[in-house]
Structure 1
Amino acid sequence: MSQSAERVLQELQKGIFHPVYFVQGEETYYIDAITEYAENQILHLEEKGFNLTVVYGKECNMATLLTQVRRFPMGAARQVVIVKEAQEMADLKNATGQQLLLNYLEHIQPATLLIFSHKYKTIDGRSTFSKALEKKTVFVNCKKLSDHQLPTFIKSFVKKLQLTITEKAAWMTQEFIGNNLNRITNELQKLSISLPAGSTITDEIVERYIGLQRPFNVFELQKAVMQKNYAKSYQIISICSLNIKEHTALPIVTVLYNLFSKLLILHQTKEASPTKLAQQIEVNPYFVQGYLDATKKYSLQQTLQNMTYIHQADLQLKGINCNMNDFQVMQELVFKLMHE
C-alpha cells in the first residue's frame, strides 16, 4: 500500500509496524529519516546485538537476505533488517531476485521488519514487480518537494524545534538554500542552538545566519540571471564546476528553463494583481516583483530566444552535437542568455 513518508514516520513513532517497507525516490531526506529511525529507535540497545541487521545492496543477494529475514528474533518482539543503498542490489533488477522477494511477500515472517532503502532512483512503476510491491508492502515514493511545498515543510520542521518562523523568512530560507531538505534541516538545527525556545525566526535572522554563510547554489544563479548580472552568473557557474558531484549541469538547465517559462507567462498575461500573477507562475507573492523586474531586462523576443538556447544546451549536455564538457556548455549558455 502506498503511504507518504510523513505518515510512515508518524506510525513508526507510535509503534505501528508493518513487515516490509520499500522506500524509494529522489528525496533522500525522508529515506534517511525512516531508515535511521528504524535502525536506532525500534529496538532497545540490549536487543540490537542479535536482532538488528544492516546490509548494503551492492554486497548482498536476495536469497541470503531472505534467509536472514525468515529467522525468528532472539530475546525481542521483532528483528529489524535494513537494506541500505538498495538501488545497487542486482537481484532487485533481475527476474529471479524479484520473484524470490515476491514469494516472500506471500509468506512473510511477521516478527521481522524489513526495509529497503532505495535512493535516487525508482523502480519502473509500469512493471509487474513495482505494482506487486505497491500492493504487498508499505510503498513510499519520496519525490522532491516543489517550490510551493518547501515553506510548509520549513514551518513544520521549525515547529519541531520549538520555534516559529515568519512567512517571509521561510521563503528566504528556501531561496538561500534551495530544495535540499538535508541542508535546510541542518541549517535550521544550527540556527536553533542560538535561539531560546519559543523564539520567532525572522527574515533578518535568516539573512544574518543563513544568507551570509550560504555557498553559491542554483537558485542564486537564477537570481543573478534574472538581474542580468553576467559577472556573478559566470562566477557561480565557475564555482559549481569545481564541485560537479554537488552541482550537476542538467538540473541547472531545468531551473533556467523554468525561469524563462515564467517570464514568458508574464509577458503574455493581462493580469495585474500580484497575488494572481503569483498563482500563474507558481511562486510566492513575495517574489513576484523580482520576476516582473526581469521581464524589463528580457523582452518577449529575448525570452523566446533564450528558451531556444536552453533547449540547445540541454541537447548538448545529453551528448548531441557537442565537443565541450558540461560546464563549458553552461558558461557558453550563460553568455548567450545575456549577450545575444
Structure 2
Amino acid sequence: MKIDEFNKAVSRGDISPLYYFHGDEPYLMERAVKRLTDLVVPPDFRDFNLDVFYGNECKGDEIASVAQTLPMFADRRMVIVKRSGDLSAAALEILAACAVDPPPTTCLVFVGEKVDQRKKFFQELKKKGELVECKRPYENQLGAFIREEAKSLGKRIEPAAAEMLVYLVGSNLGELTTQLEKVALYVGQREAITIGDVRGIVSDTKVESVFDLANAMGERDPAKALRSLATILRDGEAPLMLLAMIARHFRQLWRVRDLMAQKVAQQDISRLAGINPYFLKGVMAQARNFGTHELKRVFESLYAADLELKGGGSRRPALIMERLVMDVCGISR
C-alpha cells in the first residue's frame, strides 16, 4: 500500500488492526502515525490507551502483552513500535504469532525503514494488516505535494510559487510544509499564494542564500558565490545538504543545455526539463556558460567534494566547499 492509498482508506474510516510503515521519508511516516493516532485514540484517553515502544529497548512479549490488553473508557487501544528494524529475531517470532490473530480492539503500529517479506512476521502481518510504503517523492513530484499541502491549508498556490518554494527550500518535506504554513499565514484571507508571497517570507531564511549560491555558480561569479557560501556556513547549514542542492541545480543546467543544443523550442524546454517558465530564462542563460565537457568536469568536482566530505579527511568542510566553488566558477578559464 502506498501512502496516498493509506490516506484514502483512513478517510473512509477503514482502519486496520495492524500497520507497518516503512520507507525513506520519515516525515510521511510521522504524519501518517499522527493521523492514525488522532483517529484511533481520543486525546482525553491517551494516558490509558496509547503505548509507545522502541525496537531496540523492548521484547516481543512486552509488546504482545500490551496489545492484547483491553482499552479503558474507549473502543480501541493503540500500540506504536518505533525503530522496528531493531527488533530481535526472537521478538519478531513472538509478534508473528500475535499477527496471526490480532486483537480487534487494538491498532498495533510498527515504524521502520525496511521490510523483509521472507520473514514470517511480515508474511503474517500482510495477511491481516497493511504494509505502508512512505517513499520520498521524486523531484518532479514535489509540485504536486506542495499543491496538496496548500489545499489542506485552504489555499491555492501558483505553479511558479511552488517551483520557487522547492528552489529555496529543497526536497525536505518537513521544511517545505513548515515554510508553506508560514506563507499561508502571511497571505491571510487571500486564497492564492503567489511567487511574491513565497519570496517575501522564505527569502528571510537561510535557504535563500542556497538559491543565490547556486545561481552565482551558474553565472560563474566566484566573488558572489563565496559571499553566499560564507553566509550559509555561518548559519550552520550542513555541507552535504548544500552539495545536493548545487548538484540539483547543475543537473537542470545540463538538461537545458542538451535541449538547447537540439534546437528545442523554449516552451518545450520548460516542459521537458520540468522548469517553470518564470525561471527558464535565467537557467538558459546559465546553461550557455558551460559546454558539455565543462559540465562533465563540474560533476567530477561535485563527486570529489562528496567523497571528501563523507570521508572525514583532514580538510575542514568549509575549505572543501570553497575549493568546489572556485573549481566550478573557474573551469576552463
TM over 0.5: yes
- Offset at residue 174 of structure 1 (A): 2.0
Distance 2:275 2:77 in 1: 46
* TM-score between the two structures when normalised by the length of structure 2: 0.84
- Offset at residue 17 of structure 1 (A): 0.8
Aligned AA for 2:53?
V
- Residue 330 (structure 1) aligned with residue 317 (structure 2): no
SS of structure 2 residue aligned to 1:287:
helix
Q: 1:178 aligns with which of 170, 189, 205?
A: 170
Cα 1:225/1:128, change in 2 over 3 Å? farther
Q: Which position in structure 1 is the counterpart of 2:99?
A: 105
SS of structure 2 residue aligned to 1:148:
helix
Unaligned runs of 5+ in 2: none
Distance 2:216 2:263 in 1: 26
**Are the counterparts in 1 of residues 16 and 107 from structure 2 also a CA contact under 8 Å?**
yes
Q: Which position in structure 1 is the counterpart of 2:114?
A: 123
Q: 1:25 aligns with which of 23, 29, 36?
A: 23
Percent identity over the alignment?
23
SS of structure 2 residue aligned to 1:297:
coil
Q: Which position in structure 2 is the counterpart of 1:225?
A: 217
**The 10-residue stretch of structure 1 (135-144 or 209-218) with the greater mean CA deviation from structure 2:** 209-218
Distance 1:52 1:138 in 2: 20
Cα 1:131/1:293, change in 2 over 3 Å? farther
Cα 1:237/1:140, change in 2 over 3 Å? farther
Distance 2:148 2:97 in 1: 40
Q: Which position in structure 2 is the counterpart of 1:298?
A: 290
- Offset at residue 113 of structure 1 (A): 0.5
Cα 1:313/1:132, change in 2 over 3 Å? farther
Q: Which position in structure 2 is the counterpart of 1:76?
A: 74
**Are the counterparts in 2 of residues 216 and 239 from structure 1 also a CA contact under 8 Å?**
no
Cα 1:257/1:158, change in 2 over 3 Å? closer
Aligned AA for 2:27?
Y
* TM-score between the two structures when normalised by the length of structure 1: 0.83
- Offset at residue 216 of structure 1 (A): 4.5
Q: Which position in structure 1 is the counterpart of 2:266?
A: 274
Q: Which position in structure 2 is the counterpart of 1:264?
A: 254
Unaligned runs of 5+ in 1: none
- Offset at residue 109 of structure 1 (A): 1.6
**Are the counterparts in 2 of residues 264 and 304 from structure 1 also a CA contact under 8 Å?**
no
SS of structure 1 residue aligned to 2:147:
helix
**CA deviation profile, 1:152-187 (whole Å, cap 9, x unmatched):** 222222222222222222222222222222222222
Aligned AA for 1:293?
A
SS of structure 2 residue aligned to 1:60:
coil
Q: What are the residue-to-residue correspondences of 1:16-95 with 2, within 5 Å?
A: 16-84=14-82, 86=83, 90-91=86-87, 94-95=88-89
**The 10-residue stretch of structure 1 (177-186 or 213-222) with the greater mean CA deviation from structure 2:** 213-222
**CA deviation profile, 1:127-166 (whole Å, cap 9, x unmatched):** 6479637834422222222232222222222222222222
Cα 1:64/1:206, change in 2 over 3 Å? same
**Are the counterparts in 1 of residues 159 and 276 from structure 2 also a CA contact under 8 Å?**
no
**Are the counterparts in 2 of residues 257 and 310 from structure 1 also a CA contact under 8 Å?**
yes
Distance 2:219 2:108 in 1: 50
Cα 1:113/1:242, change in 2 over 3 Å? farther
**Are the counterparts in 1 of residues 99 and 121 from structure 2 also a CA contact under 8 Å?**
no
Q: What are the residue-to-residue correspondences of 1:153-164 with 2, within 5 Å?
A: 153-164=145-156
Q: Which position in structure 2 is the counterpart of 1:152?
A: 144
Q: Which position in structure 2 is the counterpart of 1:135?
A: 126
**Are the counterparts in 2 of residues 148 and 283 from structure 1 also a CA contact under 8 Å?**
no
Cα 1:309/1:56, change in 2 over 3 Å? same
Q: What are the residue-to-residue correspondences of 1:171-250 with 2, within 5 Å?
A: 171-197=163-189, 199-216=191-208, 218-241=210-233, 247-249=238-240
SS of structure 2 residue aligned to 1:144:
coil
Aligned AA for 2:263?
E
- Residue 15 (structure 1) aligned with residue 13 (structure 2): yes
**The 10-residue stretch of structure 1 (284-293 or 167-176) with the greater mean CA deviation from structure 2:** 284-293
Q: Which position in structure 1 is the counterpart of 2:308?
A: 316
Distance 1:242 1:24 in 2: 35
Cα 1:238/1:191, change in 2 over 3 Å? same
Cα 1:148/1:123, change in 2 over 3 Å? same
SS of structure 2 residue aligned to 1:59:
coil
Cα 1:218/1:35, change in 2 over 3 Å? farther
**Are the counterparts in 1 of residues 117 and 123 from structure 2 also a CA contact under 8 Å?**
no
Distance 2:120 2:242 in 1: 33
Cα 1:258/1:201, change in 2 over 3 Å? closer
- Offset at residue 68 of structure 1 (A): 1.0
